[in-house]
Chains A and B, each alone.
Chain A
Amino acid sequence: MRRKKYLRDFLECLAAAALFLFIMVRNLSTVQDSHMEQYFIQNFMGIVVYGTDISQVLLQIVPEIVVFYIFSGVFLADYEINFVYVFTRVGSKQRWLLKKAVELLMKVVVLWLLIFVLSFLFGTVGGFTLSSESMSIYGRLFLFQTVSMFFMLFVQNFASLSIGRSKSFLLLLIFYAASLALGVLFYNKSSQINLILSLLPPSSQMYIWHSDSPLANLWDKPLKGFTTAFSMIWMAVLFVVSYVLSAVILQKKDLIELVKGESA
């Protein structure tokens, strides 16, 4: 039974990863350099828009949106059935929340590992070579993708308990697209806007916006002070605050009042 569940989870990840194949295949011919890290950067550096055509943002975030959708029902999965069967066995609401957060994190990590492995295979077939000097770039790219995506999915999944999967997914979609469109339109327009942009969770996924990325010189001017360390610490703070808040809400509210699912 557990094998069946893991297989289903893995197939979900595989389906989500498949969407990134288009990007990988396209970039096989667009990257001039023969180094593998350049190929990875091209695949996962974030949104690149020339001019202010924000419709390009929407096109480029399609794979992420699909991933968000696939993982938008992790918390609600226990409510497909009579949720009291699950909760009363887990024994504690806090334990349940922790269990679901870990499950979500594992799914996001497995997905991105899969995407990175696929990217490596495509890169190897495409003739790109690995160099040991730039290994940290892979780590950073992986962190940027997984941490920000996990945080946004955690908040969306918790919200789905009260407002349902569809509404919470739609809100995440709007927030994600609007944040990135805001970045494209107002990037480096003023220091205040830069500060706001660096505080928005989707910005953490944008390797290209970070001031310490090797792309900083190529991409106009990066967001001042938006370093990898700042990005990761800020995401960690946001996650801790959201987790504690979710735990308090879960503890204080009646389950029957809190969990409305799709009927909300």
Chain B
Amino acid sequence: MTAIEIQNMSKTIKGQTVLSNINLTLETGGSYEFYGHNGSGKSMLFRAVSGLIHPTEGSVKVFGKELGKEISFPESMGLIIENVGFWPYYTGFENLQVLASIRHIISDEEIKESIRRVGLNPEDKRTYKKYSLGMKQRLAIAQVVMEKPELIILDEPTNALDEEAVEAVRHLIREEQKRGATILIASHNREDLKQMCDQYYKMTDGKLEEGELQE
């Protein structure tokens, strides 16, 4: 089954083409890495797939439904995109509880479990503003996986993480792969997530080309 189908998609912002004639089909359950320099268009591509921007031309379908026409956003998606940020005066657990209360599909215990999976303590009484950069990033990853989404989009998930935390992210991605989630990862540091994906794509100046596994 096709998870994502992008046809002839281009995006122009203020006269500048940031995505150029992208055609891409990704199968359900696969994991895909997009690499390229900063500004190459990886984040913009992820924004388009997550419904945060509309293509100037072409279309994006996620699990058969066209974004912007049939649905605003993919129906089952967890993502890290842009800057990580939560409510500063709530604890990590409380932050995820507020987000989980929007859809009501998981219990408090499942929220706690997702926090444990990223190496944080759900009983930690510290508020988010007292978290270190690495803890903030881990919490962001916990919010991605907590509702067991079918589509996972991770834009630079290993930013600000130490080696131990990067290993935890690798482990988490492997678990999500086993669960059958479709995973899209963007990274400019390819060492972090080396050999984790089924397919690789390179982005250069808003254009997409088949990439290769870095040895």
The tally of residues in B whose CB lies under 8 Å from a CB in A reads 34
A1 adjacent to B101 (CB under 8 Å):
yes
Q: Which residues of B contact A189 (CB under 8 A)?
A: none
Q: Distance in Å from the Cβ of A8 to the closest Cβ of chain B?
A: 9
A82 adjacent to B85 (CB under 8 Å):
yes
Given known contacts A80-B87, A84-B79, A254-B52, A5 and B73 CB-to-CB distance under 8 angstroms: no
Q: Which of B31-50 contact A (CB under 8 A)?
A: 47, 50
* Interface residue? A50 (CB, 8 A): no
B72 adjacent to A92 (CB under 8 Å):
yes
Q: Which secondary structure dominates chain A's binding surface? A: helix
B86 adjacent to A82 (CB under 8 Å):
yes
Q: Across the two chains, which residue of chain B brings its CB closest to A99?
A: B102
Q: Which of B101-149 contact A (CB under 8 A)?
A: 101-103, 140, 143, 147
CA of A2 to CA of B187 in the docked complex: distance in angstroms?
Answer: 36
> A-B pairs with CB below 8 Å: how many?
66
* Interface residue? A86 (CB, 8 A): yes
Q: Distance in Å from the Cβ of A81 to the closest Cβ of chain B?
A: 5
* Interface residue? A26 (CB, 8 A): no
Q: Across the two chains, which residue of chain B brings its CB closest to A93?
A: B72
Q: Distance in Å from the Cβ of B5 to the closest Cβ of chain A?
A: 19
* Interface residue? A192 (CB, 8 A): no
B52 adjacent to A256 (CB under 8 Å):
yes
Given known contacts A1-B98, A5-B98, A256-B53, A88 and B73 CB-to-CB distance under 8 angstroms: yes
A76-96 toward B: CB 8 Å interface, digit per residue (1/0)? 000011101111111111100
The tally of residues in A whose CB lies under 8 Å from a CB in B reads 24
Q: Distance in Å from the Cβ of A264 to the closest Cβ of chain B?
A: 16
B83-100 toward A: CB 8 Å interface, digit per residue (1/0)? 111111010001101110
Q: Which residues of A contact B83 (CB under 8 A)?
A: 82
* Interface residue? B160 (CB, 8 A): no
Jot down 27 A-B pairs with beta carbons below 8 A, ordered by A: A1-B97, A1-B101, A80-B85, A80-B87, A80-B88, A81-B85, A82-B81, A82-B82, A82-B83, A82-B84, A84-B81, A85-B99, A85-B143, A86-B99, A86-B102, A88-B50, A88-B51, A88-B74, A88-B79, A89-B103, A89-B147, A90-B102, A91-B75, A92-B73, A254-B52, A255-B52, A256-B52
Chain B residues in the interface with A (C-beta under 8 A) = 13, 47, 50-54, 71-75, 77, 79, 81-88, 90, 94-95, 97-99, 101-103, 140, 143, 147
Chain A residues in the interface with B (C-beta under 8 A) = 1-2, 4-5, 80-82, 84-94, 251-252, 254-257
